[in-house]
């Protein structure tokens, strides 16, 4: 019973209540409240790895596989909150409520990862979505922020409705909402029956909703506007933690309850993945706003993840998992750097705002150089190995034409990454560019990990290979 109370979700839920009460008495000492937030995250991270409780309930799963990903989410949150605290403090809009809402969203991602039923999955998604609505509209001084929050709210409500409709179809024609129950019912379904067709429609609705949450084409229309309207600190959160959670949901949904429908969802994922890569790579070419550029870059990267997942092979699953971890590390570093840089005492908005950075702040210029080269897939950085694994998985699965298109789109995407480097190192500016800290240990470690894991790729390769092995045991 004690072990059950020490799972990360329970720790964070109790922690949120403690933080709210603590902040009431120490409203002027925000640093104390923030230290408490980080301390609670550390406790949750510790017990996510050291709690040996492993049990599968009817609607919820506690296992080594889910615990490792919860640990990754918690460590990512520690880094994001570190960047966010500095950024909000600089903008003079620091409120501890921002972190408590973020923690609730984090609990939502953990519920999504451990969910063993469609209803529990929906609850996790809604808890995450409600938190993101508030965070996107957090900057009340910005009309763009309010507009972005309304857009995401309206589109998110539509997405939730589509998800519920898909779940209702699955429940109506299988009589179960648990993953194992659905899998057992599908074995007895006649492929020529109306029930089979209805289940396929339900799966398509669920897939469409999840693709929206992932930000994959053709459900990507919200991504650039939301990224642009949100605070950079919110954009970091949007581009990392929910992506990991949705990826695990994809993995568990398709390979446990719907594995018998692999001929259906495999083609859908390959189409969505290729479309995301092409749209993300081409539309990013014309972007002048740095956040919109990175939004389209995110769409392209998500395409790589979904594409390799749709291959239905061990190498495909491994490549998608590897790419997800690499993308998360790179996005954390890229947005983390941008939170530290200001132009005319304001946050960075346009790519031209970075002009002359190499002359005034060579340290930050070098950090951006590394993240851009890694995103472009330049060896020996970790981004190269991630793209190579996806292309290799495509070739091994005999998708030669698709692998050629992916290579071409990778070359195209290199243009806008190199354009940012060109602006930083070769363009001049008259405006004032500055940073609110001369260096950051956390940021440096984040960026240097892209180099270290690129030079020694087997470190991350072995970890992701181990996770894939654990997943196979779960899914059997």
- For 5-37, give the DSSP string: HTSHHHHHHHHHHHHHHHHHH-SS-HHHHHHHH
Handedness of CA 154, 160, 166, 168 (dihedral sign): negative
**pLDDT above 60: residue 1:** no
Mean pLDDT, rounded, for 89-105? 92
**pLDDT above 80: residue 472:** no
- Look at residue 13 in the predicted model and tell me its pLDDT: 95
Say if residues 331 and 240 touch (Cβ distance below 8 Å): yes
Global pTM reads 0.95
User: Backbone phi, then psi, for 347, in 5-degree steps?
Assistant: -65, 160
Tokens for 152, please give them: 């995401």
**pLDDT above 70: residue 2:** no
Q: Could you report the per-residue pLDDT of 324-345, keeping only the tens digit for each?
A: 999 999 999 999 999 888 766 6
Q: How far apart are CA 110 and CA 102, in angstroms?
A: 13
Between the alpha carbon of residue 123 and those of residues 39, 60, 163, the distances in Å are 27, 12, 11
**CB-based burial label for 476 (10 Å; 0-12, 13-18, 19+):** exposed
Highest mean pLDDT, choosing among 41-50, 227-236, 385-394: 385-394
Say if residues 199 and 177 touch (Cβ distance below 8 Å): no
Q: Could you report the per-residue pLDDT of 250-308, keeping only the tens digit for each?
A: 999 999 999 999 999 999 999 999 999 999 999 999 999 999 999 999 999 999 999 99
Mean pLDDT, rounded, for 205-233? 93
Between the alpha carbon of residue 462 and those of residues 75, 326, 453, 459, the distances in Å are 19, 14, 11, 6
Strand (E) or helix (H) holding 55: strand 55-56
**CB-based burial label for 166 (10 Å; 0-12, 13-18, 19+):** buried
Which residue stretches of 257-354 are H helix? 262-283, 290-309, 314-340
* Three-class SS state of 172: helix
CA atoms within 13 A of residue 54's CA, in its CB half-sphere: 11
Between the alpha carbon of residue 358 and those of residues 52, 76, 336, 393, 415, the distances in Å are 49, 28, 17, 38, 19
Residues 6+ apart with CB under 8 A from 385: 322, 326, 454, 457, 461
Tokens for 217, please give them: 């084409």
């Amino acid at each position: 019973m004690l072990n059950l109370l020490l799972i990360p979700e329970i720790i964070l839920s109790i922690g949120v209540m403690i933080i709210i009460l603590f902040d009431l008495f120490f409203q002027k000492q925000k640093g104390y409240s923030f230290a408490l937030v980080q301390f609670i995250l550390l406790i949750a991270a510790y017990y996510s790895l050291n709690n040996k409780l492993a049990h599968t309930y009817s609607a919820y799963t506690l296992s080594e596989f889910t615990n490792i990903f919860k640990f990754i989410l918690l460590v990512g949150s520690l880094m994001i909150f570190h960047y966010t605290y500095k950024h909000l403090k600089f903008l003079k809009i620091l409120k501890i409520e921002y972190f408590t809402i973020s923690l609730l969203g984090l609990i939502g991602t953990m519920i999504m990862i451990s969910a063993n039923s469609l209803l529990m999955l929906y609850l996790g998604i809604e808890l995450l979505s409600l938190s993101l609505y508030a965070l996107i509209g957090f900057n009340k001084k910005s009309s763009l922020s309010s507009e972005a929050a309304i857009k995401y709210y309206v589109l998110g409500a539509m997405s939730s409705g589509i998800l519920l409709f898909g779940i209702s179809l699955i429940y109506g024609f299988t009589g179960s909402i648990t993953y194992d129950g659905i899998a057992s019912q599908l074995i007895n379904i006649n492929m020529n029956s109306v029930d089979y067709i209805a289940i396929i429609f339900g799966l398509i609705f669920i897939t469409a909703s999840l693709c929206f949450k992932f930000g994959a084409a053709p459900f990507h229309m919200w991504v650039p506007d939301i990224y642009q309207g949100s605070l950079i600190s919110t954009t970091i959160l949007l581009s990392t933690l929910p992506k990991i959670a949705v990826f695990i949901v994809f993995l568990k949904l398709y390979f446990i309850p719907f594995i018998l429908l692999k001929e259906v969802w495999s083609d859908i994922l390959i189409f969505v993945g290729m479309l995301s890569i092409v749209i993300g790579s081409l539309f990013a070419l014309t972007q002048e706003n740095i956040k919109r550029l990175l939004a389209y870059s995110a769409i392209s990267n998500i395409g790589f993840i979904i594409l390799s997942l749709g291959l239905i092979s061990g190498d495909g699953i491994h490549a998608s998992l590897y790419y997800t971890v690499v993308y998360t590390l790179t996005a954390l570093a890229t947005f983390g750097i941008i939170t530290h840089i200001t132009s005319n005492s304001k946050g960075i908005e346009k790519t031209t705002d970075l002009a002359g950075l190499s002359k005034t702040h060579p340290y930050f210029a070098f950090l951006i150089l590394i993240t851009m080269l890694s995103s472009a897939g330049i060896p020996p950085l970790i981004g190269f190995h991630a793209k190579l694994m996806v292309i290799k998985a495509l070739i091994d699965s005999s998708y030669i034409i698709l692998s050629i298109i992916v290579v071409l789109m990778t070359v195209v995407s290199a243009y806008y990454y190199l354009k940012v480097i060109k602006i930083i190192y070769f363009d001049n500016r008259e405006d004032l560019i500055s940073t609110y800290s001369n260096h950051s240990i956390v940021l440096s470690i984040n960026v240097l990990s892209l180099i270290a894991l690129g030079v020694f790729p087997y470190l991350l390769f072995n970890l992701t290979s181990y996770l894939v092995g654990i997943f196979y045991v779960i899914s059997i």
